[in-house]
Amino acid sequence: MGFVYFCQGLGLAIAVFLIFILLRVLWSWWILPNKAYQKLRRNGFSGPIPSFPLGNTRDMTKKNTRNSSSSSSNIITHDIHSTVFPYFAKWQKSHDPEFLKKMSAGVMGKTWGKPTVFKNDREPMFGNGLVMVEGEDWVRHRHVITPAFSPTNLKAMSSLMVESTTNMLDRWTSLISSGNPEIDVEREITNTAGEIIAKTSFGMNYGTGSKVFDKLRAMQSTLFQSNRFVGVPFGKKAINECAPQQDLLGLLLAANRGDGHQGKTFTTRELIDECKTLFFGGHETTALAVSWTLLLLATNLDWQDQLREEIKQVIGDGELESTMLAKLKKMGWVMNEVLRLYSPAPNVQRQAREDIMVGDVVIPKGTNMWIDVVSMHHDKSLWGNDVFEFKPERFKDDLYGGCNHKMGFLPFGFGGRMCVGRNLSMMEYKIVLTLILTRFSFSVSPGYNHSPSHLLSLRPMHGLPLIVRPL
């Protein structure tokens, strides 16, 4: 008898537990998203209705997967938004840079955080470093990190950049002379940029830097397998399996033995997160800017010649000095135009930490915002009918490239959280490109498939093979 009561009691407890779980699931995955949707609609934002249980995630992932295999092409078109972000292209009705302006001017950087789903997903890469940290901690981190990018510090890094790039170009020379003129420039330049950031930020020698670099890259590619559901439980199961054993922790602690508490110093954990952040934030984006530039110069030989001519005038046959870089004006326009057409950081994220008034619209607490940089940079109504053409001269006398709204050009983000490394990346871009252009000319390889894809950054899905010839 006692056993029967026990079984009935257990059955009841299991039933209550299951009902509780079911209600939790319905609440979190159906009722809450629909409530948020209705609230946003009342505030004038339209969009697709979230479906149960994964909202619009399935739509996004399905299209991405299909897209990644079908969008490759030998035709090089710069009209890439609908292939890189087909779901945004479908859902989006219009752009309102004015909204971004109000958002960035009217509220403190502290009221906006980074989406929780994004922070959790990228935790292995950025931890709670500057890209992700929020509130008062963000103010402290930004305050400590900004001086590291002072002109004096940057100047001291230039010779290391020249050294690593020269090594890469010497390797290209050997490859070409052994009969291999086709070089995957994206892979080469990303490796070199990784070496540069390891040397410049952490003082690592190449051997140590490349080991850490390989492990971090392995972690990144695990994170960006195209069929993962970001933010869906168990979606990142494989990540720990490839976590580096001897990671930056050991290497960095040796060089950074302080353990601060409040004020200007970082705790050990914070220091590690910042190092990972600089490593990831600091090499791939710049490498992609250079790589996409090589593609655009390979298809616009006139600009290849114009830049070579400018380099000859500014630098002549002498040594490349960092003070000369500011005089490479045309190269600056080319960089801006490349960042416009192929923005390495194709979107910027924010999450409202409280109900926030932007103009007369309320952004409800918890709302995630994805600012679609590619679509802003490719919007005819902002840039004109030649929006898909490579025309660096649009930046000649205008920092915003003739865009009819100042928030329409956002390669480095906006507001207080704008990229802290932008001056470093401009310096590196000019040094690497100058050295390449003075030694080589290049054209597109017949094996190149034009397939810009969103893999955190905007990358050529199948690499970027070019035919490289010594000058």
Q: What gap in Å lies between CA 444 and CA 410, rounded to an integer?
A: 28
User: Can you tell me the distance from the alpha carbon of 92 to that of 107, in angstroms, rounded to the nearest whole number?
Assistant: 25
Q: Distance between CA atoms of 365 and 387, rounded to whole angstroms?
A: 36
- Cβ at position 329, least distance to ligand HEM in Å: 18
The one-letter amino acid code at 434 reads T
User: Per-residue x/- mask for ligand HEM, residues 101 to 130, rule CB under 6 A?
Assistant: -----------------------------x
Contact between 243 and 191 (Cβ < 8 Å): no
Residue positions counted in the chain: 471
CB of 424 to ligand HEM, least distance (A): 5
Binding mask 257-276 for ligand HEM (x = CB under 6 A): --------------------
Min dist CB 59 to ligand HEM, Å, is 25
Listed in sequence order, the residues at least 6 apart from 42 whose beta carbon sits closer than 8 Å to its beta carbon are none
Residue with tokens 């009819």: 404
Q: Under the phi-then-psi rule, with left for phi > 0, alpha for psi from -120 to 50, and beta for the rest, what region is 47?
A: left
CA atoms within 13 A on the CB side of 233: 4
Dist. CA 187–CA 184, nearest whole Å:
6
**Rule CB under 6 A: is residue 293 a binding residue for ligand HEM?**
no
- How far lies 151's CA from each of 7, 52, 146, in Å? 74, 52, 11
User: Segment 5-64, which members bind ligand HEM (CB under 6 A)?
Assistant: none
Q: Minimum distance between the CB of residue 10 and ligand HEM, rounded to whole angstroms? A: 51
Q: Map the footprint of ligand HEM across residues 340-399, applying CB under 6 A.
A: 344-345, 348
Smallest distance from ligand HEM to CB 201, Å: 7
Output 427 or 445, the one with its CB closest to ligand HEM. Answer: 427
Please report which residue ranges of 204-267 form alpha helices under DSSP H.
206-223, 248-255
Pick 289 or 436: Cβ nearer ligand HEM? 289
Q: Is 331 in the site for ligand HEM (CB under 6 A)?
A: no
The identity of residue 432, as a single letter, is: V
419 is in an annotated binding site: yes
Q: Shortest Cβ distance from residue 392 to ligand HEM (Å)?
A: 16
Task: Kindly tell me which of 55 and 421 has the beta carbon lying closer to ligand HEM.
Answer: 421
Q: Does 131 engage in binding with ligand HEM (CB under 6 A)? A: yes
Q: Residue 190 interacts with ligand HEM (CB under 6 A)?
A: no
Smallest gap from Cβ 445 to ligand HEM, in A, equals 24
The answer to the question of residue 417 lying near ligand HEM (CB under 6 A) is yes
d(Cα 244, Cα 213) in Å, to the nearest integer? 10
| 424 near ligand HEM, judged by CB under 6 A | yes
Nearer to ligand HEM, 33 or 401 (CB): 401
Q: How far is the CB of 132 from ligand HEM (least distance, A)?
A: 8
Q: Does 419 bind ligand HEM (CB under 6 A)?
A: yes
Q: 470 preceded by cis ω (within 30°)?
A: no
Of 278, 297, 298, 352, which lies in the binding site for ligand HEM, with binding defined by CB under 6 A? 278
List, in sequence order, every beta strand (DSSP E) within 26-78. none
Contact between 287 and ligand HEM (CB under 6 A)? no
Look at residues 311, 299, 304, 305 and name the one whose alpha carbon lies nearest to residue 341: 299
Which helix (DSSP H) or strand (DSSP E) does residue 9 occupy?
A: helix 2-26
Closer residue to ligand HEM in complex, CB, 121/445: 121
CA-to-CA distance for 398 and 438, rounded, in angstroms? 28
421 binding ligand HEM? (CB under 6 A): yes
Residue 357 tokens read as 């008034």
Feature table: binding site: 419
Feature table: binding site for heme: 419
List of residues contacting ligand HEM (CB under 6 A): 130-131, 142, 277-278, 281-282, 285-286, 289, 344-345, 348, 411-414, 417-421, 424-425
